[in-house]
Amino acid sequence: MKDLSKNYINGQWQDWAGETIDVHEAATGDVIARVPASGRGEMEQAIAAASAAFESWSESTLEKRLHVLEQLHAGLKERAPEIAETVCREVGMPIKLATGIQAGLPATITKSYLKLLPEFPFSEQVGNSEVQYTPVGVVGCITPWNYPLHQVILKVVPALAAGCTVVLKPSEIAPQSAYILADILDKTDLPKGVFNLVCGEGQTVGDTLIKHPGVNMVSFTGSTRTGSLIAHAAADDFKRFALEMGGKSASVILADADLAKAVKGTVNNCLLNSGQTCTALTRMLVPAEKHDEACELAAAAVAKMTPGNPLEETTRLGPLASAQQRDKVIDYIKLGIEEGATLVAGGPESPEGCAHGYFVKATVFGNVKPDSRIAQEEIFGPVLCVIPYEDETEAIEIANGTAYGLSGAVWSGDDAHAKKVASKLRTGQVFVNGGDFNPLAPFGGFGHSGIGREFGKWGLKEFLEVRSLQL
């Protein structure tokens, strides 16, 4: 078991002698690490350090910032195997996927900013005005457990690149990769106080970070309920905020689509990270006359994804990240049955051979009513809802018929037809006929899915204020 009873404040590891939080292995439930249940005092120290470091870092040269990010990128590449195994144990994503996603994406994102920064216009001439993009200030970053390091990097790297200083509060469920990041940054030429890490409960250290007058911006990824609380708290101080929250994304399979390909693509997306993905395609919309066939195809695809040990290379479906999340998902599966949906595959019982850990069967519901709770609420587990529709107008209405708008997909035998329908979806991104994810394109949501964008130049601009010099 790792003893991580320390915070990283003002360029130093500070030991913590108070209460700690247990970190559990998703596949077994065993305690694998302990981190601080820090108090308000530790967070206030970190904010003070970030505030003191801001002036010099905000005025640092682009070359200096690039140098630090190059060192960070090298460290992420070197420690990728350790990162992958760490997140695999904490979150439950199978090691083969964790290597490419949980460890690979942070390095990819960092490299993308190394390429973007030299080309970004931090100032531009508009008529007789010089428009300057200047760092927003001290940034508080609050990150989730499902993609723990990836979500941290999406905030910390562009914030540092913009010239901001950072205080990070990682998820206490999956915090270890954030400690690896802090260790990497500690070995770079990043000045003291520019990056700080404080671990603890949200109602204590998170609340302090959100409401502290020394914090100029809060960047949050997590639940819509928590995002709403952050927005209300930030409004009292007119604090900038960026929110990336929940989703209930629809995969719209049109009548002229290759049904087998579309169902397979939807199931694979839905079950990625055991459904613990905010962009998961959890609603599959199919023409009514193809509903039963689509359900059969989905059941066959799910049958190939039996839960197993995430550390084994052959495992495709791991456990959920915590007992609380497992129990929540099982309750939703029971709710789906109570609501009258057809249980096509899976169910609330524990998977065979998985007596320990936080495992849930991959579950498919058919004949799901669009206004039912399992079709409206984010389950965050391996649960797919198959919803029949009569025509494209109804399909678009159903797709747009939730409070969320983070992602979606459209499948058609005609790309132009698919794009036309995709353009009618009220969501931040749409995968057209299985198009690849692009880490350079803007990422974020409509409605209750969030405010602001991440990735690429859009992610950088979130951490910049705009100033005009009238000449």
* Active-site residue set: 244, 278
d(CA 394, CA 391): 5
d(CA 292, CA 307): 25
- What are the φ and ψ backbone dihedral angles of 309, each rounded to 5 degrees? -60, 120
d(CA 262, CA 286): 10
d(CA 138, CA 48): 10
Distance of CA 234 to the CA centre of its chain: 21
d(CA 114, CA 431): 27
Q: Is 469 exposed, middle or buried (0-12, 13-18, 19+ CB in 10 A)?
A: exposed
The secondary structure of 178-204 as a DSSP string is: HHHHHHHHHTTTPPTTSEEE----III
Contact 177, 184 (CB under 8 A): no
Half-sphere exposure of 448 (CA within 13 A, CB side): 19
Torsion angle of C-alpha atoms 59, 165, 459, 120, degrees rounded to 10: 10
Contact 433, 410 (CB under 8 A): yes
Enter the DSSP assignment of 469.
E
* SS3 state at 35: strand
Counting every residue, how long is the chain? 471
The secondary structure of 65-101 as a DSSP string is: HHHHHHHHHHHHHHTHHHHHHHHHHHH---HHHHHHT
First to last CA, the chain: 61
* Alpha-helix residue ranges (DSSP H) falling in 189-290: 207-211, 224-236, 259-271
Query: Rg (Cα) of the chain, in Å, rounded?
Result: 22
Q: How far is CA 71 from CA 77, 157, 189, 191, 333, in A?
A: 10, 12, 8, 13, 46
d(CA 186, CA 233): 32
Is beta strand 240-244 parallel, antiparallel or unpaired with respect to 450-451?
Answer: antiparallel
